[in-house]
Structure formats: structure tokens, C-alpha cells
Structure 1
Amino acid sequence: MSGPAPRRPRKDAQRNRELVLDAAVELVRRDGEGVPMARIAEHAGVGIGTVYRHFATREDLLGALVHRSFGLAVANARAAAEHQGSALGGIRSFFLATLRDRDRFVLPLHGGPAVFTPATRELQAEVRVALRSLIDRGREAGELRDDLTPEDLILAASLLSRPLPGTGDWDRLARRQVDLVLHGLGSGTAPG
């Protein structure tokens, strides 16, 4: 006989968890993985006990940030794969979504911690599966070069989402880079 179904967190508990994660994203990105938990609590507007109720250790919190970021990456990759236009248009949407969401990512390729749970590894694999389907569709249509991999798209998106210091209007510069990268992904540009 199975036990009762797990209780859903109260709405205020879920809201507090999200506040902690939002604060942690900002502070970890700005100050690094060693940012004091008390500073995260203060920034979130909650007590330190609230932080530890949701995340017993710093690694638990960092793992939750990475997991949440991969969830966002999966959503962006799936949206790109479902793009109704060309595969290049889908790739463009993936790059632009990554650029749009860059301040929400705490991922190893974005300078974040390398903390992976089995559930996070599943999300990481889902990103690749979604991008693989997009690439396969583009190859079948003759749009994309034969040697393109999901990892190529992930690496390019990561680089585009990390502004270089002293470059001015990064959104404008990154969008130009998106156009240049997309030009290089076409099937007629593979090296001979």
C-alpha cells in the first residue's frame, strides 16, 4: 500500500523559494559561488531560516540554480525546434532567446557552477535532443551543413550570451554575431 501523495508546497513557501532563487541568480552571477547565504536571504527579503528550509546546503542552492537554468534552456531549445519556419530561423530564435535570458542563466558554460544532479543531467540531454531534431530537419531540407552538432549551437549561444567588457551595446553587437554565425551554418558554407 502506498503512502499519501506528497503535499504541494504552500503558495507562500513556493513564492519564497522563487525569491531566494532569483536573488541567488543575481548575486552568484555578480559575486560568485561563495556569496554568503545570509546576503542571499537579505537580498530576497526573507530570513536565513527560509533559505535553509529550501536549500540545506550551498551546493543544494547552486544545484537548484543550475537545474532551473537548464529548464529554461530546454524551453528555449524546444521552442526553436518547433519553430514553423526554416531551421535557420529556429536556430536564430534559440540564439535570440539565449541572449534575452542571459541574466537568468547560471550554467557552467555561462560561468556558473558545475553542479549536476541526475534530474539536471536529464534536462541537459533534453536540450541536445531538441536541438538535434532542429538540426536534422535543417539537414533534410538542405539548409544546414552536415557537420553541425547540438554542441556547436550550445557553445555559440553561450558565447553570445556573455557580454564582453567594454564593448558598448552588447545586444546590438550580439545580434550582428547571430547573423554572422547563421550565415556560417548554411549548407553551402562547409569547408571543402
Structure 2
Amino acid sequence: MSDQDDINLEGGDVGTTETSGRKISGLIPQLLKWVAIVLSALIFIVTVVVITVNIIGGAGKNMSTLPVSEEYTGVREILQWYRDPIGVIQTRTNDEIPASVVAEVALGYTADDKTTPAELSARIVEIKDFLRSFLQSKTAMELKNEEKIKIEIRNQINDNILSKSKIKDVRFTKYEIVEQ
């Protein structure tokens, strides 16, 4: 080999030159390939989003609830309600700017129980005083959680006031918190 031979260092065979037509024809398949990839990705993303929204949004079948047969479903106990002697309890909350609380409380006990209403009648003064001081010791924000208040009242009456019997439930026939 002599130093005079032409060496093409830029690639390709000696004597071949690419024309502009071939460059364009090679560009079109590459462009189509990328368009297909992007389109496929978009279709995949939309499919995943639609399925996820249907599952989370509840349009799909709800898998979090279990069917309960009738033999396991308990019948709610029918209760008698002790409420007239208690009357309306009016007090103020334990806030910097106290709110007014008006509550009418009903205490539920088993329907065929004869000792509970007798004990409730005997301890009516203690119950009224407890309800007034209990509501007075809470803030307006604490009193807004009605279910928690009902449970606390029931437990306190059963543990600290009644001795021979227990109440089963506490309900409010009137429950108003008026903030100033």
C-alpha cells in the first residue's frame, strides 16, 4: 500500500456517496417508530388511569365489604328510655368565651328490666348534677363529637352513679351548642 491511496476516514466504502433522498427515506421510518412508541405509551397511561379511577371511585365492584349472612346479623335490642325526669340540661362550656349547651338526654335500658328505672329514679339528682358538670367541663370542640360524648356519659353513669343496674345506651333528643 502506498501513501497515495485515498483513505476515506469518515466511514463508508470507497466510492459510495449517500444522496439526500436516502437520508430522508431513513428519517421517515425513525419518525414513525417514535410516533408509534409515544402513541402506545399514551394509550397505556390512559388505560391505567381509567382502571384506577374506576376502582377508587367505587364504579367497580367493592371488594372491601364482606357479605354477612342473616344468622350472623344481630337483631338490635329494643330499649326502654328514661328521659322525662331528667329534662333539659342547660350549661356553658369550658372555653375562654363559653358556648351555651342545651341537651335533653335519654338513657336506654333493657325493656324487661324493672330495677334500672327504679334506681334511675332514686338517683335522678345525681344524674342531673353529673350531666350538668360533665357538659360544663368540656370545650365546645370536644362536645361536637357526639358519639364520643354519649359513650363517656354511659360509662360514667354505669361506673360512678349506678350500682345495681346498668344503662345500655345514651341518646340526645335535643343537643345544641351555641357558640358566641
Tell me whether the two structures share a fold, i.e. TM-score over 0.5. no
Answer with 1 or 2: which has the greater Rg.
2
TM-score normalised by length of structure 1: 0.24
Higher strand content, 1 or 2:
2
Higher helix content, 1 or 2:
1
